[in-house]
Structure 1
Amino acid sequence: MARKIGSRYTAHQILGRGSAGTVWLGEGPEGPVAIKLLREDLASDQELVGRFVQERTALLGLEHPHIVTVRDLVVDGNDLALVMDLVRGTDLRTRLDRERRLPPEAAVAITADVADGLAAAHAAGVVHRDVKPENILLDMRGPLGPGGSHRALLTDFGVAKLIDTPRRTRATKIIGTPDYLAPEIVEGLPPRASVDIYALATVLYELLAGFTPFGGGHPGAVLRRHVTETVVPLPGIPDELWQLLVQCLAKAPASRLRASELGARLRELLPLLAGMPPLDVDESGGDHPDDESAETADAASGDAADRGGREPSAGPARDGAAGRRRGAVPLVPGARPTGSHRDTHTSMRVPAPDELAGPAHGTARAPRASGAPRPGSARNRATARRRRIAVGAGAVALLAAIGVGTWLATDGDDTGMGPQDTRNSAPDTP
Structure 2
Amino acid sequence: MARNIGSRYTTHQILGRGSAGTVWLGEGPEGPVAVKLLREDLASDQELVGRFVQERTALLGLDHPRVVKVRDLVVDGNDLALVMDLVRGTDLRTRLDRERRLAPEAAVAITADVADALAAAHAAGVVHRDVKPENILLDMEGPLGPGGAHPALLTDFGVAKLIDTPGRTKATRIIGTPDYLAPEIVEGLPPRAAVDIYALATVLYELLAGFTPFGGGHPGAVLRRHVTETVVPLPGIPEELWQLIVQCLAKAPASRLRASELAARLKDVLPLLKGIPPLDVDEPDSDPAPASAQASEQYEEDAYATGSGTGEPGPRRAAVPLVPGASADSNRDTHTSMRVPAPDELSGGPLGTARAPRSAGTPRPGSARHKASVVRKRRITLAVAAVVVAGALGAGGYLVASGDGDAPPQDSKQSSQP
Do structure 1's residue 292 and structure 2's residue 286 form an aligned pair?
Answer: no
Quickly say closer, same or farther: Cα 1:396–1:429, change in 2 above 3 A: closer
- Unaligned runs of at least 5 residues, structure 1: 317-326
Q: How does 1:209-224 map to 2 (within 5 A)?
A: 209-224=209-224
Q: Which segment drifts farther, 360-369 or 348-357?
A: 360-369
Do structure 1's residue 301 and structure 2's residue 318 form an aligned pair?
Answer: no
Percent of aligned pairs sharing the same letter: 75
Q: TM-score, normalised by structure 1?
A: 0.85
What displacement does 1:30 show?
Answer: 1.2
What displacement does 1:87 show?
Answer: 1.0
What displacement does 1:362 show?
Answer: 2.6
What displacement does 1:420 show?
Answer: 8.3
What displacement does 1:258 show?
Answer: 0.5
**Distance in 2 separating the partners of 1:307 and 1:421:** 86
Partner of 2:363: 373
**Distance in 1 separating the partners of 2:145 and 2:177:** 29
**Distance in 1 separating the partners of 2:406 and 2:156:** 88
**Distance in 2 separating the partners of 1:361 and 1:380:** 33
Partner of 2:114: 114
Partner of 1:323: none
Partner of 1:98: 98
What's the secondary structure of 2:179's corresponding residue?
helix
Partner of 1:2: 2
**Distance in 1 separating the partners of 2:349 and 2:174:** 23
Partner of 1:315: 316
Q: How does 1:28-427 map to 2 (within 5 A)?
A: 28-282=28-282, 285=283, 288-289=286-287, 291-292=288-289, 294=291, 296-301=293-298, 306-307=300-301, 309=303, 311-312=305-306, 315=316, 329-333=320-324, 335-358=325-348, 360-374=350-364, 378=367, 382=371, 386=375, 427=414
**Distance in 1 separating the partners of 2:26 and 2:339:** 37
Quickly say closer, same or farther: Cα 1:167–1:215, change in 2 above 3 A: same
**Distance in 1 separating the partners of 2:203 and 2:417:** 92
**Distance in 2 separating the partners of 1:373 and 1:97:** 21
Amino acid at match of 1:309: A
- Unaligned runs of at least 5 residues, structure 2: 307-313
Amino acid at match of 2:320: V
Do structure 1's residue 16 and structure 2's residue 16 form an aligned pair?
Answer: yes
**Distance in 2 separating the partners of 1:81 and 1:328:** 16
**Distance in 1 separating the partners of 2:353 and 2:376:** 25
CA contact (8 A) 1:100 1:210 kept: yes
**Distance in 2 separating the partners of 1:331 and 1:84:** 9
What's the secondary structure of 1:175's corresponding residue?
strand
What displacement does 1:8 show?
Answer: 1.0
**Distance in 2 separating the partners of 1:293 and 1:69:** 45
**Distance in 2 separating the partners of 1:359 and 1:341:** 32
What's the secondary structure of 1:275's corresponding residue?
coil
**Distance in 2 separating the partners of 1:116 and 1:37:** 27
CA contact (8 A) 2:285 2:355 kept: no
Partner of 2:309: none
Amino acid at match of 1:329: V
CA contact (8 A) 1:314 1:341 kept: no
Amino acid at match of 2:305: E
What is the aligned-residue RMSD (CA, Å)?
3.2
Amino acid at match of 2:246: V
**Distance in 1 separating the partners of 2:146 and 2:7:** 42
What displacement does 1:220 show?
Answer: 1.1
CA contact (8 A) 1:314 1:340 kept: no
Quickly say closer, same or farther: Cα 1:13–1:182, change in 2 above 3 A: same
Quickly say closer, same or farther: Cα 1:26–1:241, change in 2 above 3 A: same
Quickly say closer, same or farther: Cα 1:368–1:217, change in 2 above 3 A: closer
What displacement does 1:95 show?
Answer: 1.0
CA contact (8 A) 2:284 2:357 kept: no
CA contact (8 A) 1:113 1:263 kept: yes
CA contact (8 A) 2:182 2:199 kept: yes
Amino acid at match of 1:224: R
